[in-house]
Structure 1
Amino acid sequence: MEQAAARMEKEPRKIVIDVYTDWCGWCKKMDKGTFTDPKVVELVNRHFYPVKLNAEGKDPITLRGQTFKYKDEYRSHELAVALLQGQMSYPTTVYLDEKMNMLAPVPGYLDAKTFSRILRYFGENHHKSMNFQEFEKKN
């Protein structure tokens, strides 16, 4: 996450974050099937900085001068709690704009076809002119 933020200083892009846990079966299924799909790889590389965030990771992460840490009381990392807006569901894919503002968290397993549509929706800036249902009807 810190590397993506640093790269954005030089070349702003959106960020797509895979929020996962080590014990999540659907997360592993997305790793094997969705994230390796050639169309998904092409769309991510064209429009986003990809980040994998272990929601139960123990290492502190500093962004914009704020340090996020693992919290025992949540059994989760503070950054994951913030990105998922307290809705701790795995996997969740989080989309941030070029200024690291939240576009949307999308909870649940996504197959390559569905994930590609969502990547295009945010990556090609369709979210600025229509909702996702309108985008799906046109695409």
Structure 2
Amino acid sequence: MKYKKRTITLILLACSLTFAWAATPEKTTRITWTTYEKGMAMAEKQNKKIFLYFHADWCTYCKKMELTTFKDKGIIDYLNKNYIAITVDSDREKKIASRFGVRGLPTTWFLKSDSGKLSSMPGYIDANRLLTILKFINTESYEKMSYQDFKATL
């Protein structure tokens, strides 16, 4: 009887610990990407700017950006907190790529929450540069100063 009581207690304790661990919010360790359609709707609803990343499977610099820039903790945290991050495979979604005039990869667009175009950048962007650009756009500093002046304030 004593053995059964101890076993039941241990099982209940293990279950409690498992549920407590599962309920603990995990810090995101990657960018929360979404699709174009979902992202556009989310951005308007949440009033967040849009980070729109065009890529393709065969693109060497896209892979480099995905393995370096998009693995950077500062980029992950800032994008997830301040932007709706949308990824578009330009080979699979040619109409969207055409709508944004994508001619080379990777290409990154920055949009207002209402999907109005702010700016685009072709090519690979390293983490330090991208974080500065994300802050420049998110804080709407482009309305008050040049990018060079903004960089000087950091």
Distance 1:97 1:9 in 2: 9
**Quick one: higher RCO (CA 8 Å, sep 6+), 1 or 2?**
1
Superposed, which structure 2 residues align to 1:93-104 within 5 Å? 93-104=108-119
Provide the TM-score with structure 1 as the length reference: 0.80
Distance 1:34 1:130 in 2: 26
Please report how far the alpha carbon of residue 10 of structure 1 lies from its aligned counterpart in structure 2 after TM superposition: 2.5
Unaligned runs of 5+ in 2: 1-35
Quote the residue 2:79 is aligned against. 44
- Structure 1 residue runs of 4 or more that deviate by more than 6 Å after TM superposition: none
Quote the residue 1:79 is aligned against. 96
| Structure number with higher strand proportion | 1
1:35 aligns to what SS in structure 2? helix
Q: Does 1:5 align with 2:40?
A: yes
**C-alpha distance after superposition, 1:60-119 (max 9, x if no partner):** xxxxxxxxxxxxxxxxx1211221x3x511111110011100001111101111111111
Aligned amino acid, residue 82 of structure 1: R
Quote the residue 1:131 is aligned against. 146
Quote the residue 1:15 is aligned against. 50
Quote the residue 1:122 is aligned against. 137
Quote the residue 2:122 is aligned against. 107
* RMSD between aligned residues: 1.3
Unaligned runs of 5+ in 1: 59-76
Paired-residue identity, % = 28
Provide the TM-score with structure 2 as the length reference: 0.73
Distance 2:149 2:44 in 1: 33
2:80 aligns to what SS in structure 1? helix
**C-alpha distance after superposition, 1:9-31 (max 9, x if no partner):** 42111000111111100000100
Contact 1:15-1:100 at 8 Å conserved across structures = yes
| Structure number with higher helix proportion | 2
Q: Which moved more, 1:7-16 or 1:105-114?
A: 7-16
2:71 aligns to what SS in structure 1? coil
